[in-house]
Chains A and B, each alone.
Chain A
């Protein structure tokens, strides 16, 4: 009885979720939506949507562009986030708690509003330009808003906490005596970092990168608010196809290809990664 109740309810619910995710992969679903009763036409039309994706370079380009943007944004997050996490890990326990709270706090405020707040800084007459002008570093305000740079800044700003937290979690557990041992054996601090700290913190690096990369690649809000009109992030293309052109079958096809090409491999990788970790433990 116990088992049945605590097992069937969540399971039934999970089934509903899986249904939601496979719904677009099953042809009848999208087809029932798109062209109602003529059942025999459906499969043909379905393939047409995918062929359309290949013929129109916009889609291929936007997949590649999203991939590139998410990759470099993740890399920059890593470069900024690693020293931050390392610094936090090396402070005392009390300070750690306070610093972590400071890092997490922006995450609890609205994501949308944070992106909007960023606009106030990088706008043509925003704080950044005014500061640079005042310092005499530039003569004319930089145009950052509505460029791809703005999208990068937006992603890094929004997802930096996601990078810092897992990095901190692994760096904090790191056994300091290993570092001392390598110093005793004559390693310079920098060398010891490369040989000991970096390899041991790889799980954190991977976890943090995943947490940044995955939402970044499908990002819609940041390219829409901060990017230019020609920005091709896949999330935005999908949204426009769906709400703008009202072309649901094509939008679904974009989503399916996106899922298979980008998310699928990541999910599989993560699955094997966790299996491997379990094997070690």
Chain B
């Protein structure tokens, strides 16, 4: 598979990649534009970044989004891992089919439907129990729901490769089932947990549609604030904000990628050593 592919294919690949990146590069370029008018270059300036720091609304929205993302991702990893264990370890149980369907449902459901149904559920819960009021908590609940689906699938595939006999050996040596799981299986699925946490965190940070439905007055996440600004047209400080986000995400993904590859190599090496 390593001979040079034909030129035509590489050209299409090049064009495709360029298509993906040109808009982002244009936006990054404009974020340093001194002129507030788009399409007119007014010289290099970091004016919009300073403006960004003074925008209290954006800052508080960003802080809210980060908190929601942190809580939602953590809860989703916990629940998703439990669901994955149930699906991988216990082949037959009542409701296995239902659980599989429920795990996959948020993935095939358009966001707007998920949003509207969750809002109706939350409202009827409020109606029946007087809890929860719309705001931070409801957004977290909604995010946990769809993030759990992604976590379950990621962890499920990793757990499928984990060797059950290690855990059994630990139990034979006198560990309790939970202890045995923590000592043997957990380190093996740790990379999957880390990557699904990151995925959940970004999905939660990025979500607009579902958050808009389930949020209440006073709880505007970062995408909601950005959306309401962007709807009115181009605003240069959003360019600056987007550039910052792209920079952070870019560095984050690169670092995570390198770390994960290293961990994966070590895992492969361990497997080889174990086989010898």
Contact = CB atoms under 8 A, between A and B. Distances in A.
Task: Report if A and B associate in a common complex.
Answer: yes
A132 interface: no
Interface stretch (B46-54, B106-114, B183-191): B106-114
Interface stretch (B22-30, B129-137, B267-275): B22-30
Contact of B249 (A109, A130, A219): A109
A92 B2 contact: yes
Most buried by A among B5, B17, B79, B112: B112
B117 A20 contact: yes
A21 B105 CA distance: 9
Interface string A110-140: 1111101111110101110010000000000
Contacts of B5: 86-87, 90-91
Interface in B175-220: 177-178, 202, 205-206, 208-209, 212-213
Interface string A8-29: 0111011111111101100001
A218 interface: yes
Contacts of A121: 22-23, 26
Chain A interface bracket (under 10, 10 to 19, 20 to 34, 35 or more): 35 or more
Contacts of A117: 23-24, 26-27, 242
A23 B39 contact: no
Interface string B221-235: 001001100110010
A239 interface: yes
Given A87-B13, A111-B206, A17 B145 contact: yes
Given A20-B121, A84-B12, A88-B13, A225 B230 contact: yes
B56 interface: no
Chain B interface bracket (under 10, 10 to 19, 20 to 34, 35 or more): 35 or more
Given A114-B24, A220-B209, A125 B9 contact: no
A251 B116 contact: yes
A235 to B, nearest CB: 5
A87 to B, nearest CB: 4
B86 interface: yes
A23 B111 contact: no
A89 B30 CA distance: 35
Nearest to B85: A6
Most buried by B among A17, A89, A93, A123: A17
A102 B17 contact: yes
Given A29-B124, A161-B20, A259-B109, 7 more contacts: A10-B99, A17-B145, A24-B117, A86-B9, A112-B230, A214-B110, A217-B110
